[in-house]
A = this chain, B = another copy of it.
Amino acid sequence: MRKKITKRKITLLDVAKAADVSAITVSRALRHPASVSAKLRERIQHVVDDLGYVPDPAASALASARTNVVGVLIPSITNNVFAGVLRGIYMEAEKAGYGIQLGNTRYSMLEEERLLRVFLSQRPAGLIVTGIDQSSAARTQLLRADCPVVQIMEIGDKPIDMMVGFSHRDGASTATQHLVDCGYTRIAFLGARMDPRTQRRLEGFSQCLKQAGLFDQRLVVTTPKASTVTLGCELLSELLARAPDADAVFCNNDDLALGVLFECQRRQITVPTDMGICGFNDLEMMAVANPAITSVRTFREEMGREAMGSLLASIAGTVVEQPVIDLGYELIKRQSTRSVK
């Protein structure tokens, strides 16, 4: 299957000879055009185009001890939420000519450590990691890394380097308070996966309800399973079996919320009067469901862009003035929650 290459590779030296300059001058002309006179730059560029010279990243990496690849560690590649973030990351990376190496930690700290070791051995230009709950070994590796690091999705007190995210606890708390304000009194929490961010959402939920004197542990239904629409149906069924008087649910995320809506439709439970529904992330489809589903909007693509932007600035040597960026969230109230006082 493998084809043979017959033609010898065009190297920097070939270009240099053809342009009648030294190899290093060609190298400079391509990497730091400003450091070469305009005349030479033009001549060299012409020869480069002519010969079809393409730099060898491996040789460059070896000589400079630095690649132009940014490592990105996320816990899932099928989760819609990360798709948006990745999109933002790619957009910025591409513009700047950086490549992305993606690692899937599958919500496992051990796997994260392993991938980190692999990635760091490749001398990345920078690293983007998800969340703020790295294992202490991973944290140590990241602190020692000789490249900038951005933690995304969340914000916290002790950034390894930079952070771009928002407070999941506050987002959940705001959403829950909205349900309380609507007059719902038996408000449930449906949670899948239960990763650190979901945990914090549950904290925000619990805190808010305790303050309102409405917290009931029996209304908290969680599972370690991955979140799906189907699972939303199942969790609602479980909730109703346990607590038939539940009158609202705050869902870990929008997949579950949609499943809850579908299950309510099947059970002839009227939304929002018999059951209020609130999701998290505000996926595009939330706005067109029947009824449209209230959700906490998060700025995922922007998060990716900001993360890569900070990283690139740091790689370029700029002192990043704002190492922790809080992108916030926005509660989008729709028909699935309404005042039932």
Interface residues of A (CB under 8 A from B): 1-5, 54-59, 61-62, 67, 69, 77-78, 80, 83-84, 86-87, 90, 94, 99-102, 104, 117-118, 121-123, 143-148, 161-162, 228-230, 233, 255, 258-259, 262-263, 265-266, 284-285, 287-290, 314, 317, 319-320
Contact = CB atoms under 8 A, between A and B. Distances in A.
Contacts of A94: 104
A78 B67 contact: no
Contacts of A319: 1
Given A78-B83, A78-B84, A100-B101, A230 B3 contact: no
A77 B67 contact: no
4 pairs of A and B residues whose beta carbons are closest in the complex: A58-B61, A229-B285, A54-B121, A58-B62
Contact of A58 (B58, B104, B148, B314): B58
29 contacts: A1-B148, A1-B161, A1-B314, A1-B320, A2-B146, A2-B147, A56-B62, A58-B58, A58-B62, A58-B67, A58-B123, A62-B62, A69-B101, A78-B83, A78-B84, A80-B80, A90-B104, A94-B104, A99-B101, A99-B122, A100-B102, A101-B101, A228-B284, A229-B285, A229-B288, A230-B287, A255-B285, A265-B290, A266-B290
Contact of A144 (B3, B83, B99, B147): B3
Contacts of A317: 2
B101 A58 contact: no
Contacts of A228: 284-285
Contact of A290 (B121, B145, B255, B262): B262
A288 B236 CA distance: 13
A177 B129 CA distance: 48
Nearest to A90: B104
B57 A5 contact: no
A116 to B, nearest CB: 12
B83 A87 contact: no
A89 to B, nearest CB: 9
B57 A121 contact: yes
A102 B306 CA distance: 20
A233 B288 contact: yes
Contact of A284 (B58, B77, B144, B229): B229
Nearest to A149: B1
Given A5-B146, A61-B61, A266-B290, 18 more contacts: A1-B148, A2-B147, A2-B317, A3-B146, A54-B117, A56-B121, A57-B121, A59-B62, A62-B62, A77-B83, A77-B90, A90-B102, A94-B104, A100-B101, A102-B102, A229-B285, A259-B285, A265-B290
Nearest to A54: B121
